[in-house]
Structure 1
């Protein structure tokens, strides 16, 4: 059976099914959705970030949840992320997230993306600083390794129980591991059959670094839900394509953080199944030769992913 938890290199147990809170649309519903996710749907992992600009709403929701007495703080695994406009003072970003969430600590804190951005404002805004030509303004005075090393101090002080990264390629991870004294517990990456990233997943797992898959349904519009291979396997098991896609990472020892603000969908996300090895291999093959990446912001930097090429973007 697919595991309910992954054991991190810290010894902590992280739920394999989490609730993602990113929304570029109506943030006003997020608080109510977090309460429902925990109290009704049974989620025990809430994934958020400073960049999402909704942590105060989530903090209020957590306060309401814990006030019921049905769920304790230690029952919920909470992840946040450091936005790189705080590249010279990463702990300040974590402090702001903790204050907004109303927490003394988070269970996991990630470097959101390994691209330091130039910002002189103490609140890290604008979150996407650009020049007159619309190009991202990067901060060349620090590296992604520097950002992580700063965050190790917050780990040692107990503000976060584990450290991790997001959107790190094998190349960037190797650079980080040469200097880090605290091995990342998690690398959060885009992963689905159109972008299986097997080499990166296996590399991290060999190093004792767990993988969390974001955009498991393929992101906005979710074209992979209409993929004929996915639909065929769904018919074989008598389930929906969504169930197959959410079961895919779990069957590979990877956690996932789907996002939905529809109650029926939030509940249905837990209906994952065991897949036969031949079906897992078939799903991996869907995107192995011509991977399709949904999340491909133009950082103007080579992040070390072989597929991160404009001609491959949908």
Structure 2
């Protein structure tokens, strides 16, 4: 059987990093030494055993610096890769783990390519003793080449586990099992003998979404206001003054904020800012309570604040009507 053709786009991150020797698993970022996509493939040549993998030139960007500009470029680059080579069966994107879940979710809402796209990172640099970079890359390629990955939006692969971009989040700074889907668990696993699948997401996914960012120069500004004991609304008012079109309130579970934040959010809502109520809990739905409805706030379902911010920004490119935004949050 001929091997499938898989494109690999590298954006930097730990998976591309070379530290100061095999025991450097903490300070490698200070070295500033990151391999480009072709260098990663050269360092882990065993990836060619599972597919015909080729590098797609991009650039290395520390993942805390990745946002709208890079997201749009990656969407367009995926378009280009598939258009130029119809034999491409899947795409793997290497990424730093700090903001990996946000990039993956954005891609899962905006990609239009028909092939699987898998976002992969590592917890240990490529130069470290017992690095997870090589096996994560191999498994991401295996998943991208697997027919079961089609129609699932963007996927995340680390630690042999296949996660849905909408649900996965980074839960530990340094442990190998850092990426978790708190409410629902993994979609499947990349085991030594084969890729196995156990469930499929029901919410709408790329490429069948209503969001098209190709003609946009920017996303509407959406900020996250983290509520904590004693929060007095200063951050909310600053975001409103800065021109926010939407504010995600990362509130207490199951979905409320301090009186000071509530007052500021009501002021923002009166000024035309869309207010979305999320929680800092990390899992579970925000319920559509009477109190939220009376304030004009929209519940974020079970999306964490950083994911809710992305969906709200994209929703605002479609409509600013609360009923439409509620529909979008019930759909995606």
* Fold conserved between structures, TM > 0.5: no
Instruction: Compute the TM-score of the two structures, normalised by the length of structure 2.
Output: 0.28
- Higher relative contact order by CA 8 Å / sep ≥ 6: 1 or 2? 1
User: Greater CA radius of gyration, 1 or 2?
Assistant: 2
Higher helix share: 1
Higher strand share: 2
Instruction: Compute the TM-score of the two structures, normalised by the length of structure 1.
Output: 0.29
